[in-house]
Amino acid sequence: MRRSCRSRRWMVAFRRYEEEFRGYARIARKGNAGPFLAPPTQGRIAMRNQMFKRRFLLTSMLWMTDRFATRIDLKDYPAPADRPYGPACGMLG
């Protein structure tokens, strides 16, 4: 059974998307802010609170987070002319 042209386009698009984001996603999966934002002990809660009180440390932490979050270039793909997006056709976009 042959796959339709549309099916092949989706497969190619997904493969390209995966290649584009693979490195970024691999690094993002390693990061986990949970233990910092919700520490398990009183001592770590106090340490976290002190970091938030010190402007230099907070600014540095936010700068590093922003630098990581914006390290990827997102390509702009125009919507296909034959497939309009929007509330009128039942799709948000």
**Position with higher pLDDT, 69 vs 6:** 69
pLDDT digits (tens, 9 = 90+) for 21-49: 887 777 777 777 788 889 999 999 999 99
**Residue 72 to residue 62: CA distance in whole angstroms:** 17
pLDDT of residue 1: 46
DSSP string, 76-91: --PPPTTS--BGGGTB
Tell whether the model's pLDDT for residue 80 goes beyond 70. no
Residue pair 85/92 in contact (Cβ under 8 Å)? The answer is: yes
**Position with higher pLDDT, 53 vs 71:** 53
